[in-house]
Amino acid sequence: MPSSVSGSQRQRLINRAGALTILVNLSLTVARGAAALLTGSTAVLADAANSGTDILATLVVMGGSRIAALPPDWNHPYGHEKAEPVAAKFVGVIVTLAGLMTGAGALQALRAGPEPIGLSAAVVTALSMAAKEGLARHLERLGRRIGSPAVLADAANQRTDVLASAAALAGALGGRFGLPLLDPLMGLLVSGLILRMGLGLYWQAVRDLMDRAPDPDTMAALERAALSVPGVRAVDDVKARVFGPAIYVDCKVSVDAHLTVAEGHRIGKRVKAAIMRAVPECRNVLVHVNPFPGLAARSDRNTGPGAAGGDQGNMPPVLE
């Protein structure tokens, strides 16, 4: 869902969250790497490498949000907001690859047997899981607050690390209690969950790039705002599309056919202002003003010789 948070504040929040995410993942990479060297655990070493790839995903998110915040230019007159779903799409690919790697590790464990995890490695893994889950929840709250698909994708990416580590830890503990198949089975289950998450992120980004419509409640609020303007006799059509964190609206309204073009223009400007007040996520509103009653009804009445042409009352669109 797009957000009404101002562009500069939004970018500051994303940069701050990105710096925190990089710091956490960098610390976990060092801690997991040290634990892997001390215990010789390849599973913990893989977790360390996974934390390193999470840093890459966060850099993609920060880069995408920075590009999305750029103002419109001659080559991108509608702005750069779609850079965020593009970044989310890349993160979806990264999460999907992580799911495939988790599945490959589970199949390897199924053939060769689970790798035992020492106490120190288990403690590091459990602490890192708690840190990553807290980070994922923070990013998820922020992403929903500011309407950032890229930050929400990064939150999902952090959670895949928690799931993968939980599967490894549960499988290792199962091996200690005489359940050796628990490790590969948990790995395969978590691999499926991660793949579903990654493909879901990818598909959501594709939907955002295809100019999907806002939710029904937002569409209803747009129409109510247009109808609330004095002088609007009917709302003929409302179309809207999600453009990254913003919404762009096309609206057709009907006003009294006897009004002048200037009067219709003023009503159109009021419609735009009312819509942008009602739905602050709207970045721009294009209002087209039609005569009321419609041209077909007027031409039916004016069919006699010398009747005025139906085009007399047709008002041009208000381009705002």
pLDDT tens figures, 238-282? 999 988 778 999 999 999 999 999 999 999 999 999 999 999 989
Structural domain for 129, as ranges: 7-209
Among 12, 284, 286, 285, smallest CA distance to 148 is for 12
Is the residue at 229 inside a domain?
A: yes
Which H or E run contains 50?
helix 42-68
Distance CA 89, CA 156 (A): 12
- Going from the C-alpha of 152 to that of each of 93, 149, 177, 190, 267, the distances in angstroms are 14, 5, 38, 20, 39
pLDDT at 308: 40
Q: How confident is the model at residue 20 (pLDDT cuts 50, 70, 90)?
A: very high
Number of Cα atoms under 13 Å in the Cβ half of residue 233: 13
65: CATH: 1.20.1510.10
Is the residue at 320 inside a domain?
A: no
Is the residue at 304 inside a domain?
A: yes
Is the residue at 278 inside a domain?
A: yes
CA 219 to chain CA mean position, Å: 18
DSSP structural state of residue 210: T
Is the residue at 1 inside a domain?
A: no
pLDDT in tens, 167-207: 767 766 766 666 767 767 777 777 888 888 889 989 988 98
- Global pTM reads 0.71
Is the residue at 2 inside a domain?
A: no
